[in-house]
Amino acid sequence: MGAALKSVEMRTTKRLPVRVMVEYESIEDFLIDYTANISIGGMFIQTDKPLPVGTRFRLRLQIPERSKPIETFGEVCWAMTDNAFGAQQGMGIRFDDLAANDEKQVRQLFDVWEDGMD
């Protein structure tokens, strides 16, 4: 739990509570889960089987406003493996190697989502 709290304090970008399908691979499986929130720099994936902290993996975000998914790499920065204090199980992901064009489109969508929540 301490690592999760420390991670929250280190955030530099705003997160929005947006649910987006994310596909990714673990060592054994191809997985499909959903985000609980997303930012320009990363996201929280809700899952009862988070990958180990430090794991780097390929992921694909299926954004509703976009015909092609965004494909990039992510790194697990922290994981919540039990729901102590009512917290959601899952893992905090930092985007790694997000293409410039994809980052631009994520920023534009983020602005649209943020305006829709006002």
Domains in the chain: ranges and CATH: 2-116 (2.40.10.220)
φ/ψ of 6, rounded to 5, equals: -60, -40
Per-residue confidence in pLDDT tens, the chain, 118 aa: 444 444 444 556 678 888 999 999 877 789 999 999 998 889 999 998 899 999 999 999 988 777 889 899 999 999 988 766 667 899 999 999 888 988 887 888 778 877 776 6
Secondary structure element (H or E) that encloses residue 110, with its range: helix 100-116
CB burial of residue 35 (10 Å; 0-12, 13-18, 19+): buried
Structure-token pair, residue 85: 């204090």
Other beta carbons within 10 angstroms of residue 68's beta carbon come to 10
